[in-house]
Chains A and B, each alone.
Chain A
Amino acid sequence: TVGAVAIDCEGNMACATSTGGLTNKMVGRVGDTACIGSGGYADNNVGAVSTTGHGESIMKVILARLILHYMEQGKSPEEAADAGLNYMKSRVEGTGGAIIVNSSGDWTAKFSTNQMSWAAVKDDQLHIGIYHGE
């Protein structure tokens, strides 16, 4: 799965997510990616999220919208991502990751799996990571 979130010069936000799904998946199986609120969500009033991970788990908790809900309650993107991923792990034993940007331009890339490749640019500064702590 791949994804992107962004905020532009006018303060508009967007998200995009694309995937081939699970290896050897059942014909016709559709995961979280195409489902609004699960594979991604964007609302200028809050932020934009793109997710990745175990699709069925992400769909059960509607992960992208759940993370934005936590942000609406006042959490930072990082806190909201942790809260959403922890909820998914504790409720349905699912793991995954999310990238987020909020209306102030704060961003994060968080994951409960061992790895997630990600990159970000803010203030012309490039950041890249795969493992926890990068």
Chain B
Amino acid sequence: MKPVIVVHGGAGKIVKELDETYRLGVKRAVLKGYDVLRQGGSALTAVEEAVIVMEDEPIFNAGHGSVLNEKGYIEMDAIIMDGKNLDSGAVSAVRNIANPIKLARLVMEKTDHMLLTCEGATLFAKAQGIPETPNDTLITERSRKRWMKNLKENSNPIADQIGLG
């Protein structure tokens, strides 16, 4: 079987000036994942590695660069699934970690559960030795400005962002 990998960086609005940054981001991610596959690695590790690249790239809304909630901090969600045996792991509303996808994989591999949320996910991350990443270091200036703009406009964030990832 010839390996194949596809990645996406979200379906939200892309500012034309950042077009190239998005292209470079998804390119780096897909090549990282493909490298894993070319060396005989599993699809599971390939998708995890690809997503980690994008979580670490501030242009994308995941990990470092995530958008802020109404209170001004980051809550992140992630899921991973293995098509071989339908195993899956997920985390939701998790805070203060850099790579939620790594935690999702640990939920899949180290627990009998499918989804850990909020404080439970944070406690599990600590128990698994995942280093705490302060919220401020995950927040980008772009995310903060967008959050403040929404606050000032007193807009309805859900209605205003229909279709955005």
Among A36, A114, A117, find the residue whose CB has the most chain B CB atoms closer than 10 A: A117
Q: A17, B78: Cβ atoms under 8 Å?
A: yes
How many Å lie between the Cα of A16 and that of B30 in the bound state? Answer: 13
Q: Any chain A CB within 8 A of the CB of B37?
A: yes
Tell which of A18, A105, A116, A128 touches B63, judged by Cβ atoms closer than 8 Å.
Answer: A18
Q: A126, B54: Cβ atoms under 8 Å?
A: no
B residues within 8 A CB of A41?
81
Which A residue's beta carbon lies closest to that of B55? A18
Q: B44, A20: Cβ atoms under 8 Å?
A: no
B residues within 8 A CB of A23?
67-68, 143, 146-147, 150, 157, 161
Whether A101 contacts B165 in the complex (CB less than 8 A), given A12-B43, A119-B30, A128-B27, comes out as no
Q: A6, B82: Cβ atoms under 8 Å?
A: no
A interface bracket (residues with beta carbon within 8 Å of B): 35 or more
Among B55, B77, B150, B162, find the residue whose CB has the most chain A CB atoms closer than 10 A: B77
Number of interface residues of B (CB under 8 A): 87
Whether A54 contacts B161 in the complex (CB less than 8 A), given A119-B26, A120-B30, comes out as yes
Q: Any chain B CB within 8 A of the CB of A62?
A: no
Q: Chain B binding site: helix, strand, loop or mixed by DSSP?
A: mixed
A19-73 contacts to B, CB under 8 A, are 19-31, 33-36, 39-44, 47-48, 50, 52-54, 56-57
Minimum distance in angstroms from A24 CB to a CB of chain B: 4
Tell which of B27, B61, B151 touches A119, judged by Cβ atoms closer than 8 Å.
Answer: B27
How many Å lie between the Cα of A101 and that of B83 in the bound state? Answer: 11
> B34-76, CB under 8 A of A: which get 1 and which 0?
1001001111101110110011000011110111111100111
Minimum distance in angstroms from A51 CB to a CB of chain B: 9
Q: A39, B43: Cβ atoms under 8 Å?
A: no
Whether A6 contacts B6 in the complex (CB less than 8 A), given A25-B70, A30-B92, A30-B117, comes out as yes
B residues within 8 A CB of A43?
83, 86
B120-165 contacts to A, CB under 8 A, are 143, 146-147, 150-151, 155, 157-158, 161-165
Q: A27, B75: Cβ atoms under 8 Å?
A: yes
Q: A39, B25: Cβ atoms under 8 Å?
A: no
Minimum distance in angstroms from B156 CB to a CB of chain A: 9
> B80-96, CB under 8 A of A: which get 1 and which 0?
11111010101111000
Q: A9, B76: Cβ atoms under 8 Å?
A: no
Interface residues of A (CB under 8 A from B): 1-31, 33-36, 39-44, 47-48, 50, 52-54, 56-57, 93-97, 99-101, 105, 107-109, 111-123, 126, 128, 130
